[in-house]
Amino acid sequence: MALFGAAAVPRAATLARFPYVQNVRRDRATVTWSTLEPGHGSLDYSTDTSYNLHADARTLMFSRTRTGLAYSYYRHTADLTALQQGTQYNYRVLLDGQVLPAGLVQRFRTAGRSELKFLALGDSGIGSAEQRNLARQMVGESPALIVHTGDVVYPGGGYTEYEPLFFEPYADLICHVPMYPTMGNHDYLTSDGEPYLELHSVPNDNVADSDRGRYYSFDAGNVHFVSVDSNVFLTRGPGAAARMLKWLDEDLARSAEFWRVVYFHHPVYATGIHENDPLAALARDNIVPILERHNVELVLNGHEHNYQRTHSLRNGQVVTPNTGTVYVTTGGGGAGLYATSDRPYLARRESIFHYVRLEAAGGRLKLEAVKLGGEVVDTAILAPPPLAGAQAAANSASYTSALAPGGLVSIFGRRLAVSEAQANRLPLPVDLAGTSVTLNGRKLPLFYVSATQINAQLPYDVTGTVKLQVTTINGSVDVPVEIAAVAPAIFVFNGPAGLVPAITHSNGVLVSAAAPARPGEILTVYMTGLGRLNAELLEGQPAPTGVATLLANPAEVRVGAATVTPLFAGLAPGYAGLYQVNFRVPVAGAGTHALNIAVDGVPSNAVTLPVA
């Protein structure tokens, strides 16, 4: 006879849907899974196998009535934050503290800033043998992410279609590789796209609440990805369309990444049965001008069930390679294929089941169309040169065109460097991230480079009309500038309470409304553009700390109606190209006073000086 009763064994929960990762970015990721039973969902994760980090999940019940499935289920979603970029994490999902299922361990890797390999496909979800074989083939690619160009499941984008036509074929892939979709016309057919919006967690930065999930953007490697909704013009009305187009324009303007890849469902330059689709025409008329204004290099589309790649295009016309946009139609993900026709703007077309393999490495983007079976049927390499902006060169403090010898210059444009880099030594380097800037053939010292901005120092011995040239691995661009004798400008910072000038107390604290100046106090103003010195110094070299390096031209400080002679005006000791002016605050009433500093009679930008 047993002396004690057997211990109760908790009943194992049933996974209705295996876990899949989404919205994997540099510092975050989302993991979603579903169970037939209710309970508290959670997730354990770590960079090793200790699983010492924990995240609770949000749970939402999906009833049979809502989904049309034969069962109700509970969806659990865990958001992981404060992750390390470019790092692999192992994870396991739990319900009420029980690992589901026993022994199942999954992983994902956060986005980094190095080389990026990703895949693209579309028009996939019919459950065909071709779709399933392509899915197995993509597992072997080990991509960082997958872009889906729409029509995720057929025919109506419903809950009952997602289970066998998306989650089951891609289960071995999406458990560790995020898929970023865009809405196709079939994805809209069930309740205005409700299943699509509920089952995909995508970024929602700066997107209106009413539009979340329908368009979005994110960064990985040195690529800025943008998904837009080409259905919006006919499905959601002019107000929603205008909202999305404004967001697209602002989003592309904000991006500082080298590459810009935009994807949406309806192809604007492709042949086939959808060539006269009104949505394709509306996308061409409304979306393309924004893409061309922001020099987007690559557009990915679906809808036509085949593969097509255009030449480099601008305003619908073939232009010199790498000077326009390349449009790739990738709609051979599993649904029945369509025929294509030749056009002058097409570089390649194939009616094949396929996906596109893309590798962004610095300033080169390699594109390959991979046929079912693994054969590469098309290859192209994009290597666009740098572009200068409308006001390409500006004073780094005032952001006007006024420049002076020894001053700091900011150059604006596109594709100016393959990655963001900042100088970490003195003397300053003349090459950063593969980028250099020359003035009449003389390399300038660099403080900072990115795809959209370069900060450099001008020589102390050059004036007049000169030419700056930005050179990258893909080519160069010329920027003409005018260098005057002096162009004084006070640096201004973006502070919590607004713009704050670079004026400090003797203890180094910034002067502000919370820490105002006092009459008789000595302050330091940090500037650029004050011109030549009373001693010889090479650009990029730090100013000596033991000897004062003074201005060759006279300076004066103007506070309100008062004018005072500075106690010191020259280079900031230990810094390259940074000037400072020290002055004693004249007796003045409490309040905010205008301040500017003139050199050789030329005034700087005016800033405000709060005085107690």
Per-residue pLDDT of 69-102, as tens digits, reads: 999 999 999 999 999 999 999 999 999 999 998 6
Determine the average pLDDT of the residues in 167-195: 97
Tell me the percentage of the chain whose pLDDT exceeds 70. Answer: 97
For 228, residues 6+ apart whose C-beta sits below 8 A from its C-beta are 182, 215, 244, 248, 262, 263, 264, 287
List residues bridging with 148 in a β-sheet.
121, 181
Determine the average pLDDT of the residues in 149-161: 97
Same domain for 81 and 127?
no
- Count the helices and strands in the chain (H runs, E runs): 9, 45
Contact 346, 316 (CB under 8 A): no
Bond preceding residue 429 cis, omega within 30 of 0: no
Q: In 428-474, at which residue ranges do the beta strands (DSSP E only) sit?
A: 436-439, 442-443, 446-449, 453-457, 464-472
CATH number at residue 595: 2.60.40.10
Regarding beta strands 223-227 and 259-263, do their DSSP bridges make them parallel or antiparallel, or are they unpaired? parallel
**Residue 6: predicted pLDDT:** 39
The reply to whether 5 falls in a domain is no
The reply to whether 584 falls in a domain is yes
How far is CA 572 from each of CA 72, 159, 578, 581, 601, rounded to the nearest angstrom?
Answer: 70, 66, 6, 9, 22
In whole numbers, what is the pLDDT of the chain averaged over residues? 94
Angle value at C-alpha 411, between 408 and 413, nearest 5 degrees = 165
Angstrom distance (rounded) from CA 105 to CA 25: 21
Same domain for 451 and 546?
no
Give the per-residue SS3 of 521-551.
CEEEEEEECCCCECCCCCCCCCCCCCCCCEE
The reply to whether 2 falls in a domain is no
**Residue 11: predicted pLDDT:** 58
Same domain for 198 and 328?
yes
Same domain for 168 and 242?
yes
Same domain for 276 and 350?
yes
Per residue in 439-450, pLDDT (tens digit) is 988 999 999 999
The reply to whether 124 falls in a domain is yes
Whether residue 2 is predicted with pLDDT greater than 70 in this model: the reply is no
- Quick count: other Cβ atoms within 10 Å of Cβ 315? 9
Both tokens of residue 19? 């876990």
**Residue 102: predicted pLDDT:** 64
Q: Which of 448, 483, 518 lies at the terminal end of a domain, its last residue?
A: 483
- Number of folded domains in the chain? 4
Same domain for 370 and 463?
no
Determine the average pLDDT of the residues in 376-394: 95
**Residue 101: predicted pLDDT:** 82
**Residue 1: predicted pLDDT:** 35
Same domain for 31 and 158?
no
Same domain for 378 and 420?
no
CATH number at residue 61: 2.60.40.380
**Residue 366: predicted pLDDT:** 98
Angstrom distance (rounded) from CA 31 to CA 503: 48
Q: pLDDT confidence of 255, banded at 50, 70, 90?
A: very high
Both tokens of residue 488? 């004084």
Q: Which domain holds residue 290?
A: 113-382
List residues bridging with 116 in a β-sheet.
360
Contact 437, 410 (CB under 8 A): no
pTM of the model: 0.93
The reply to whether 275 falls in a domain is yes
CATH number at residue 128: 3.60.21.10
Q: Which of 59, 78, 112 lies at the terminal end of a domain, its last residue?
A: 112
Whether residue 264 is predicted with pLDDT greater than 70 in this model: the reply is yes
Whether residue 21 is predicted with pLDDT greater than 90 in this model: the reply is yes
Same domain for 603 and 581?
yes
Q: pLDDT confidence of 3, banded at 50, 70, 90?
A: very low
Whether residue 4 is predicted with pLDDT greater than 50 in this model: the reply is no
Q: Which of 454, 483, 512 lies at the terminal end of a domain, its last residue?
A: 483
